[in-house]
């Protein structure tokens, strides 16, 4: 069932006031993620949720609630320490946060500080220096946000390669003042690059991921195997981990049906990123909570998907991890070209004069 964005946001607001506001240290809440980029009259598909960020005074907040249904809306709730919002400059420089303050997004604000922060961030969001800073933040996350550690389980090493590869799309989306979305990042990057006459670079991004030449039939085959693994994993999961609620009945329309929708619309290669991420999380569940026979049973499809991406061993992962880092200068060149051509990006004002240079 689809819901208008406005109705889904209203449900989220009710949950905040009825539940989150009673959390010790509660200091506010705001909408995060893709709903901030959608008009209120848009329909929120079954492959989307409403991201809510609850701000707490505690620098070490409790585990996040994750996904759950409230008044027919699928919510994805996380906690954020208030010190990560201590100044507009801090937020403006963080690519994953700034977009949530570019338009009115505050759900609850007992002190008024979040509202003031949102106004300040919105005012400077499109200034060139802050757009560039956010692109640098995404680039720095590729360079230093993940470590490929040989002693880690193979699926964790896959994630340590996969996400830096995927964040290359975020560098570009941030340069284009677009939403650095998670699951559909490759489709969003494709649309951005097409708008700026750089569609050929999308093939390079897909080549970095290893799926540029993958056929729709082969992706459909891998999705079928993933769906079986997903259903098995959600039935045995016990050990808590950060994305545990992403392997659940509630998350299936996003993880499986959302990928199926991309494939049906001709974007099978763009579906691969989230398929690998979801498959890796399933493997994490099997690693911790499944008997050895089940681990073995559902590792074959996972390894087959990775093999089609050119990854059969840890040495392949290490090589591909190095390729991502080596590819960054090309990503940065395209990001700078997009920033230079983007009519929405504002010139920076000279200090103290309030005028554009």
Mean pLDDT of 246-263: 94
Which is more confidently placed, 148 or 283? 283
pLDDT above 70 (res 340): yes
Angle (CA) 78 244 251, round 5°: 85
Report the pLDDT value the prediction gives residue 145, as an integer from 0 to 100: 85
CB atoms within 10 A of CB 296: 11
Least confidently predicted of 35-39, 97-101, 172-176, 348-352? 348-352
Q: Which region among 19-23, 227-231, 240-244, 321-325 has the lowest average model confidence (pLDDT)?
A: 240-244
Q: Per-residue pLDDT averaged across 67-74, rounded?
A: 91
pLDDT more than 70, % of the chain: 97
Per-residue confidence (pLDDT) for residue 354, from 0 to 100: 37
User: What is the per-residue pLDDT across 144-171, written as a single tens digit (0 to 9) for each?
Assistant: 989 889 899 999 999 999 999 999 999 9
Of 186, 170, 44, 30, nearest to 96 (Cα)? 170
Confidence of residue 355 (pLDDT cuts 50, 70, 90): very low
pLDDT score at 1:
63
pLDDT at position 319, please? 97
In a 3-state reduction of DSSP, which class is residue 81? strand
| Residue 351 clears pLDDT 60, i.e. is over it | no
Residues 6+ apart with CB under 8 A from 82: 27, 55, 56, 57
The whole-chain average pLDDT of the chain stands at 94
Distance CA 198, CA 270 (A): 17
- Examine the pLDDT at 119 and tell me if it is beyond 70: yes
Which pLDDT score is estimated for 357?
Answer: 27
CA distances for 84 relative to 52, 57, 98, 330, angstroms: 16, 10, 11, 31
Mean pLDDT of 320-346: 97
What pLDDT was estimated at residue 280?
A: 97
* In the chain, where the domains are located: 3-125, 131-336
Exposure string for 151-163, b = 16+ CB within 10 A, e = fewer = eeebbebbbbbbb
> Distance (Å, rounded) from C-alpha 75 to C-alpha 66?
8
Query: Could you give the maximum distance between any two Cα atoms of the chain, in Å?
Result: 69
Q: Which fold has domain 3-125?
A: Beta Polymerase; domain 2 (3.30.460)
**What is residue 356's predicted lDDT score, i.e. its pLDDT?**
33
Q: Which of 165, 161, 31, 45 is CA-nearest to residue 103?
A: 31
For residue 203, the model assigns a pLDDT of 98
């Amino acid at each position: 069932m689809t819901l208008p964005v406005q109705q889904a946001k209203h449900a989220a607001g009710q949950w905040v006031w009825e539940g989150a506001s009673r959390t010790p240290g509660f200091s506010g809440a705001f909408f995060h993620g893709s709903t901030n980029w959608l008009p209120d009259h848009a329909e929120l598909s079954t492959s989307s949720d409403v991201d809510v960020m609850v701000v707490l005074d505690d620098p070490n907040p409790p585990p996040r609630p994750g996904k759950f249904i409230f008044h027919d809306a699928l919510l994805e709730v996380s906690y954020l320490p208030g010190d990560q919002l201590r100044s507009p400059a801090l937020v403006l420089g963080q690519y994953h946060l700034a977009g949530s303050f570019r338009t009115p997004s505050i759900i609850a604000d007992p002190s008024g500080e979040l509202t003031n922060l949102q106004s300040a961030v919105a005012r400077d969001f499109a200034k060139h220096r802050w757009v560039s800073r956010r692109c640098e933040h995404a680039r720095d996350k590729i360079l230093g946000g993940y470590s490929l550690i040989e002693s880690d389980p193979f699926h964790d090493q896959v994630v340590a390669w996969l996400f830096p590869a995927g964040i290359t799309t975020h560098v570009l989306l941030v340069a284009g003042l677009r939403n650095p979305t998670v699951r559909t990042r490759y489709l969003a990057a494709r649309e951005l690059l097409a708008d700026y006459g750089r569609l050929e670079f999308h093939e390079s991004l897909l080549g970095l991921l290893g799926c540029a030449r993958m056929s729709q039939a082969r992706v459909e085959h891998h999705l079928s195997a993933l769906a079986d693994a997903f259903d098995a994993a959600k039935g045995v999961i016990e050990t808590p981990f950060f994305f545990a609620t992403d392997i659940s009945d509630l998350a299936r329309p996003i993880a499986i049906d959302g990928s199926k929708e991309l494939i049906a619309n001709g974007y099978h290669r763009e579906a691969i990123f989230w398929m690998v991420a979801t498959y890796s999380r399933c493997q994490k569940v099997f690693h911790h909570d499944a008997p050895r026979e089940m681990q073995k049973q559902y590792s074959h499809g996972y390894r087959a998907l990775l093999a089609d991406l050119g990854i059969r061993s840890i040495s392949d992962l290490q090589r591909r991890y190095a390729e991502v880092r080596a590819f960054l200068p090309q990503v940065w060149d395209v990001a700078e070209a997009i920033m230079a051509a983007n009519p929405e990006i504002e010139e920076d004002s000279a200090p103290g004069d309030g005028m554009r240079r």
